[in-house]
Structure 1
Amino acid sequence: MPTEAQKTLSDGAYTITDLKADQYITLTANPEYTGDKKPKYEKITVRFIADPQAQIQALSNGEVQIASGQPTADLLQQVQGLSGIEYKGQSEGTYEHVDLQVTNGGPFDPAKYGGDAEKAKLVRQAFFKTLPREEILDKLIKPLQEDAELRNSNVFVPGTPNYEASVEKNGYKDQAVDIDGAKADLAQAGVTGTIDARVIYGQGNTRRQQEFELMRQSAALAGINLIDVNSATWGADLSSKTGSYDIALFGWQSTSLAVGESGPNYQTGGINNYYGWSDPEIDDLFKQLDTETDTDKQRDLLIQAETLIQQQGWTTPIFQFPGLTAWSDTVSGVKPAFLSPNWFWNYWDWAPAQAAAQ
């Protein structure tokens, strides 16, 4: 915990009273809070448990009362078999995607090919022609959500007004496994022999382990050898250890539907652009978006930007998260939401179930 009091100042319903990095954070009701969202629990401790299996175990043992994470079919069955546990599964505002590192001297970096940007782009496109999006969806997501579909936009959330308009133009809906096409791209780039590419994702994440294995098997058919470099510190590694991976597999979480939300992911030097992506035309489109107030023009600018992003072969979306939140029946008022902060958004409604019933 910081020793300086100003670092834990809060005018909200809770203040931070204890913190241990990568383990837990404790929130205590703020006696100075005068708003209308007064909490019913004096203290809430949020534990950081990366392993979904361990989350379910902690819930079953009564160590935690609410758990939320990335389910598999097996985990869902386990939750359904727990007594005294309620749950809700629904799509969340997070989408799975794959990003490629282009400034680390690896297989997707022009520097690997003497600065030839077109060769590097061909190699990136070849990799994406091996990405088994449909297989991932069918085997890992549809058992949890039968009507799940591929996500085909990075900048528009499925179900929002402009999503379909972007999908029709941006090129992602046409991305499918094409091993012969991948081999042809590599041949055109003059690449021979096996390409090694390292994939980073969160350690202990069962679903991503399964995704990686499907990706590995498909990529191998085109002569691309995917190497598992999962990490417990993957989030920090994305920016601090760019030389340790070539492919990143994780989810971007939507906190709003604002048109400017995605810019920092793709602009040169953007705070979420860990990969060295840079394109003056894309930068200009996002710059125009910053001051554009006409909603139709905002849509068109984003679609143009996304189309160029797809053509660069930087990133590809896979699926919208099927979320699972489970909670003890000793707690009432838990209502998971689509956008971040998902399950935490209505903390003021949470109450001991017995007290709520009185």
Structure 2
Amino acid sequence: MLIYLKKTSWFTFVLTLLIALSACSTATNSASSGTGANNAAAGTSSAMADQQVLKYVTLNMPRSLDPTNVDAQRITSDGIAEPLVMLNDDATLRPWLAKSWKNVEPTLWEMELQPNVKFWSGAVMDAAAVKAALERHQKLNKRASSQIGGVEFIVKDALHIQFKTPKPDPAFIFKLTGFAIHNAAEADRLGDKFNKEADLTGFMKPTQFIPGELLIAEAVPTYWGTKPKLQRVEARLGSDGQGRLLAMKSGDTDADMNVEVEQRIAYEKDKKFNVLYPPGSTRNLWLNIKKVPAFQDPKVRLAISLALDRKELIDGVSRGFAEPVTGHFPKGLPYALDKGPESDRAKAAQLLEEAGWKAGADGVRTKDGQKLQFKLLTYSFFQPTAVALQSQLKAVGVNIEIAPVETTASNQLMLDGNFEMATYCSCGSVTGDIGGQLKSYYRSGIVSNYGGYSNPEVDKLIDQLSAEFDTNKQNELANQVQKIVLDETAIVYMYNSASWGSAYNNKVKGIDENLRTKIVPEMYISK
């Protein structure tokens, strides 16, 4: 169950952590010092380190440092783990551990790696190490099957690796952005201990780690790339948006990495803060078609979509920081639809009647002795939306019980399909891999197709799209897929909005405008 921290408990929480940090600053307790860092590294406290410390609060605290773990939140964003290629906010690619790449033939890619990269242990990160890391992702990372499943990794020499894809894939390199490179040999040696003692390549190395609560990392002096200007990062769990705002205003923290709508207004009014948002994406209501019999009826799914008052969700819940939805992708993109779902409560009620769901004395519809009621999985960011959905669906006889969970905990629940409805933040966005994104949401049997939607025609179109190199044909195929899944209500689209922007106090400089929520080596604290 997600715990919402009140104002007083937030400060108690921060104070408790500060006391704990003071007591443990030179300790090497493996239970909280996840990397096994030695006392010298953990106790570094030069004048520069005292000045160049970035403190931030977030909903997305990692529960693991192992990149294959679904709960390894933000470890790439914090500069701890690194992918071969970084995805910019504008959906372009940026070389990272990879120096360059090329498409040798339709099913073969070749990548040149950055030279002189080492893991924290001193082991060399070469093509063989990259191969081992990606093969470990294939084996353990539940999200890997839809991205790099079936790919063969071929070591050409120490700095060159080739990727043999099962089918032509013009957007293959985009798929590598989600898989951080790690020392697979060390992971195999340590087993479960690797969750706290990972061997990675980032410019920040954890010295204290309490899964889901606290992460302190210090600059790696031997980092292969641009020398980091920050000397330390201190990240703490902040479950409540108002609590994070108060911590920012009091100067207890330098950044809020999960700015919510209510707090966005306050941040933008205060000249002490710099608020940055990534491009908008489509907010979804997921329906578990595979496991909930009622959702297997297209009329019920469409009725739920029609019952939504999207204007209220935009103007009320989102305080105007949202736009009407057009379909899977935000409007204005060349591969987006021009027109999205309708809102018509009377039509919704009519469809439910036609589907055999009759209104009961308590207002909740029933059929064959079963009530039309569902549990709605949500977390704090979506809590206002969940409350609005509960009210809107009640108006057509659908009863919703809100089931809040901790943000990180929702990942495994969705992957396992342990939900009925969910306001889960897996949302259609600007992408350089149109086919890959549509595959992740709507292709039969894909793990991230959380609702279990399946349509052979859609599968065929997605496969064609994923192998298509011509941009115009890609857009045409993407439109065909989106029209079908919109008509069949594979997912209920709610609105388009930028989510979880970052608020920095004005002392934080060197922010990358194309990596707005990520910590980069160029960041520093001005005095």
Distance, in Å, in 2 between the alignment partners of 1:295 and 1:210 is 39
SS in structure 1 of the partner of residue 425 of structure 2: strand
1:53 aligned partner, one-letter code: Q
Distance, in Å, in 2 between the alignment partners of 1:241 and 1:68 is 28
Q: Report what 1:116 is aligned to.
A: none
Q: Report what 1:180 is aligned to.
A: 346
Q: Report what 1:62 is aligned to.
A: 251
SS in structure 1 of the partner of residue 392 of structure 2: helix
Distance, in Å, in 1 between the alignment partners of 2:268 and 2:467 is 49
Kept after mapping to 2: 8 A contact 1:103/1:275: yes
Q: Does residue 1:349 correspond to 2:522, yes or no?
A: yes
Q: Does residue 1:133 correspond to 2:133, yes or no?
A: no
- The 5 Å alignment of 1:275-314 reads 275-314=451-490
Q: Report what 1:247 is aligned to.
A: 421
Distance, in Å, in 2 between the alignment partners of 1:81 and 1:142 is 15
TM-superposed deviation, 1:277: 1.5
C-alpha RMSD of matched pairs (Å)? 2.6
SS in structure 1 of the partner of residue 342 of structure 2: coil
1:176 aligned partner, one-letter code: E
Kept after mapping to 1: 8 A contact 2:229/2:522: yes
Distance, in Å, in 1 between the alignment partners of 2:253 and 2:430 is 25
1:76 aligned partner, one-letter code: R
SS in structure 1 of the partner of residue 404 of structure 2: coil
TM-superposed deviation, 1:81: 6.5
TM-superposed deviation, 1:127: 0.9
- The 5 Å alignment of 1:136-285 reads 136-143=313-320, 145=321, 148-154=322-328, 156-163=329-336, 166-168=337-339, 172=340, 175-193=341-359, 194=365, 195-202=372-379, 204-205=380-381, 208-232=382-406, 233-240=409-416, 242=418, 245-252=419-426, 254=429, 256-259=431-434, 260-285=436-461
- The 5 Å alignment of 1:60-139 reads 60-73=249-262, 75-79=263-267, 85-90=272-277, 92-108=279-295, 110=296, 120-139=297-316
TM-score normalised to the size of structure 1? 0.80
Kept after mapping to 1: 8 A contact 2:206/2:215: yes
Kept after mapping to 2: 8 A contact 1:17/1:27: yes
Distance, in Å, in 2 between the alignment partners of 1:138 and 1:296 is 35
Larger radius of gyration: 2
Identity of aligned residues (%): 19
Higher helix share: 1
Q: Deviations over 1:222-259 (max 9, x none)?
A: 111122112123232223352xx321113236584322
Kept after mapping to 2: 8 A contact 1:55/1:67: yes
Where structure 1 has 5 or more consecutive residues not aligned to the other structure, the ranges are 111-119
TM-superposed deviation, 1:291: 1.4
Deviation larger for 188-197 or 121-130? 188-197
Q: Does residue 1:15 correspond to 2:191, yes or no?
A: no
Distance, in Å, in 1 between the alignment partners of 2:247 and 2:453 is 40
TM-superposed deviation, 1:123: 0.8
Kept after mapping to 1: 8 A contact 2:309/2:392: yes
Of 11, 21, 38, the match for 2:227: 38
Q: Deviations over 1:164-209 (max 9, x none)?
A: xx225xxx2xx2321221121112212223211221111x33xx23
Distance, in Å, in 1 between the alignment partners of 2:447 and 2:430 is 16
Distance, in Å, in 1 between the alignment partners of 2:374 and 2:473 is 39
TM-superposed deviation, 1:9: 2.7
1:41 aligned partner, one-letter code: L
Kept after mapping to 1: 8 A contact 2:278/2:516: no
Q: Does residue 1:329 correspond to 2:519, yes or no?
A: no
Kept after mapping to 2: 8 A contact 1:265/1:273: yes
Kept after mapping to 1: 8 A contact 2:279/2:430: no
2:487 aligned partner, one-letter code: Q
Larger relative contact order, structure 1 or 2 (CA cutoff 8 Å, min sep 6): 1
1:23 aligned partner, one-letter code: E
